[in-house]
Amino acid sequence: MNYLKPNKVILVDENDQQVGHMEKLEAHTKGLLHRAFSVFVFNSKNELMLQRRAFGKYHSEGLWTNTCCSHPMDGETIIEAGHRRLIEEMGFDCELNEMFKFIYRANLDNGLIEHELDHVITGLSDKTPHINTNEVMSFKWMTLENIKNEIKLHPNDYTVWFKIIIEEHYETLLSPQYNESIQKRDI
């Protein structure tokens, strides 16, 4: 599959206002705040599709994380970027909706720094993914409760942003408002 990965990230302020662009690796070396997104696709059993990042990724290789994630390209909405990356990494698409956003800063395993304003996007699908093995080595479905327990037992098996979302936004992902909206979506 041929696709265009963003080589630049969109630098933002804490209000998500664009302040510039920078080469992706440079932004992660300097730890500058930039726009990102994380896609969470649930199935009809309320299980989340997790992916295990491929070895060879520039950071967090071999770790489990949410369904997919990346950085939007200039001129691309968060939802458009989510669709693009879901297709590129997992080989399927579904309706997506933005749920919330948050800022985090964390040192990564290879001297890089993640400093992102991360938009969390959710979707509902029972489709079987057709993973891009350059990006993803495997996938599995798990309930949020099981994920939370597994993170406690094996924290080094998960990406930093995913652990933050599960630890700090768990109740939001379980909220009745969210569950009502997700159940109305097509599978």
Q: Which of the following is catalytic: 68, 69, 88, 89?
A: 69
- What angle do the packed helices 160-174 and 144-153 form, to 10 degrees? 140
Of the candidates 88, 89, 114, 116, the residue annotated as catalytic is: 116
pLDDT in tens, 141-186: 999 999 999 999 999 999 999 999 999 988 888 764 444 444 444 4
Per-residue burial over 45-57, b = 16 or more CB atoms within 10 Å of its CB, e = otherwise: eebbbbbbbbeee
- Is residue 116 annotated as part of the catalytic site, yes or no? yes
* Residue in 54, 115, 125 with CA at minimum distance from that of residue 86: 125
Q: What pTM value is reported for the model?
A: 0.89
Per CATH, domain 23-183 is 3.90.79.10:
yes
Domain locations in the chain as residue ranges: 23-183
Q: Give the helix/strand (H/E) hosting 78.
A: helix 78-90
47 is catalytic: no
Residue 82 CA to residue 38 CA, distance in Å, equals: 8
| Spans of the chain, pLDDT less than 70 | 1-6, 175-187
Question: What is the rounded CA–CA span in Å between residue 19 and residue 30?
Answer: 15
